[in-house]
């Protein structure tokens, strides 16, 4: 398994633990249509984009643009490339499910 594949496996395990609270879609890049990030998730009504990268890597300019578009539309975004960033995502998901939207909606 590639280093990025290992990160995706850990993200999948985390998202699986919140089954029933979210919709998850992993777009398959095909060269047709608009590009996206690795995960598009709706968790208790909040839209989230997640990009998985191997340790030490950052998103490409195109991926950064997609993440910015999601934030501009009111969604939340995460780049997961190590244990710390996975923990941030986990805390975020836990808090959204337990307490609702982070902005109080």
Question: Is the pLDDT at 105 greater than 60, yes or no?
Answer: no
Question: Is the pLDDT at 28 greater than 90, yes or no?
Answer: no
- Give the dihedral of Cα atoms 75, 78, 84, 87; nearest 10 deg: 50
How many percent of the chain have pLDDT more than 70? 91
CATH number of residue 10's parent domain: 3.40.1350.10
In a domain, 20, yes or no: yes
Give the domain range for residue 40. Answer: 3-99
44-84: pLDDT as tens digits: 889 999 999 999 999 999 999 999 999 999 999 999 999 99
pLDDT value for 102? 60
Query: Strands of 39-43's sheet, edge to edge?
Result: 22-25, 39-43, 46-52, 76-80
In a domain, 104, yes or no: no
pLDDT value for 30? 67
pLDDT value for 35? 83
In a domain, 79, yes or no: yes
In a domain, 21, yes or no: yes
Q: How many domains does the chain have?
A: 1
Residue 72: count of CB within 10 angstroms of its CB:
8
Question: The pTM is what?
Answer: 0.90
Please give the Cα distance from 57 to 54 (Å, whole number): 6
């Amino acid at each position: 398994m590639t280093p990025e594949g290992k990160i995706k496996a850990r993200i999948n395990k985390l998202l699986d633990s919140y089954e029933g609270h979210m919709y998850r879609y992993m777009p398959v890049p095909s060269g047709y249509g608009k590009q996206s990030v690795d995960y598009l998730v709706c968790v208790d009504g909040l839209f989230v984009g997640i990009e998985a990268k191997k340790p030490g890597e950052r998103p490409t300019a195109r991926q950064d643009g997609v993440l910015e578009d999601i934030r501009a539309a009111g969604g939340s975004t995460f780049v997961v490339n190590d244990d710390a960033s996975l923990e941030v995502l986990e805390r975020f998901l836990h808090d959204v499910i337990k307490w609702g939207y982070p902005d109080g909606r």
